[in-house]
């Protein structure tokens, strides 16, 4: 891969990682409700989970889904159902807690990593990156370079959203504001399904 192609890949990775999507909206809400420190496992889960998904797609999972459309459809349905469940949980949350209770807790590392497998935006990002930037003459090196590019930009990009949420904590410490913020985040998260369902 030429330097220009790698720089273009970095721009693609940055733009797709920083723009709104299910992960970033959930990180924004988590930053508001739990603060940056308690959201770190969620951020790491997003980045590492996406890296694993990216490697899986690069090493052949994308071809399996193309060969078995029913599997792809099942994955979309499971992803949509789980995303709607998460949107509901965010929308009905009324707690900005530093202590965390049985009901209110940030997403765990393993949950965030597993979510990448049903996240429609993550699949589009991974499949597009592999389709556009891999070199058939050097598939392993291409997959490694794509993975490096996303590793460089993904964690800082998703951290911006959690940081922004944390910055809003003071403003949203009012229960009424927090309620409407969480409802808005839940609705926006559910709306991210629209491109997948069209």
H helices, E strands: number in the chain: 9, 0
Under DSSP, is residue 46 helix (H, G, I), strand (E, B) or coil? helix
Residue 15, in any domain of the structure: yes
Residue 81, in any domain of the structure: yes
Can you give the pLDDT of all 198 residues of the chain as single tens digits? 788 888 888 999 999 899 888 899 899 999 998 999 999 999 999 999 999 999 999 888 767 767 778 876 777 777 777 778 877 887 887 766 644 445 678 899 999 999 998 888 888 889 888 888 888 788 889 899 999 999 999 999 999 999 999 998 888 888 888 888 888 878 887 877 776 655
Residue 102, in any domain of the structure: no
Report which DSSP code applies to 95.
-
Position 76 scores a pLDDT of: 73
C-alpha closest to that of 57 among 134, 137, 148, 110? 134
Report which DSSP code applies to 172.
G
Residue 100, in any domain of the structure: no
> Token pair for residue 120?
């429609």
Residue 69, in any domain of the structure: yes
CA dihedral 95, 43, 181, 125 (to 10 degrees): -150
Residue 167, in any domain of the structure: yes
Position 92 scores a pLDDT of: 81
Domain that holds residue 140: 3-94+107-193
Residue 101, in any domain of the structure: no
Number of folded domains in the chain? 1
Cα gap 132→94, rounded to integer Å: 43
């Amino acid at each position: 891969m030429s330097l220009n192609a790698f720089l273009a890949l970095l721009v693609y990775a940055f733009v797709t990682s920083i723009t709104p999507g299910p992960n970033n909206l959930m990180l924004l809400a988590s930053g508001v409700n739990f603060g940056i420190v308690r959201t770190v496992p969620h951020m790491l889960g997003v980045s590492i989970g996406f890296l694993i998904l990216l490697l899986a797609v690069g090493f052949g999972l994308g071809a399996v889904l193309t060969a078995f459309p029913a599997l792809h459809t099942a994955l979309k349905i499971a992803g949509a159902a789980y995303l709607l469940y998460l949107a509901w949980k965010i929308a009905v949350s009324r707690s900005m807690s530093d202590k965390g209770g049985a009901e209110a807790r940030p997403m765990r590392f393993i949950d965030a990593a597993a979510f990448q497998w049903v996240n429609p935006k993550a699949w589009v990002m991974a499949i597009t990156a592999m389709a556009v930037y891999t070199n058939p003459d050097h598939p392993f090196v291409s997959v490694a370079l794509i993975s490096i590019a996303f590793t460089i930009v993904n964690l800082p990009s998703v951290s911006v959203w959690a940081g922004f949420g944390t910055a809003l904590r003071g403003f949203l410490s009012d229960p009424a504001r927090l309620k409407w913020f969480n409802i808005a985040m839940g609705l926006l998260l559910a709306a991210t399904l629209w491109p997948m369902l069209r």
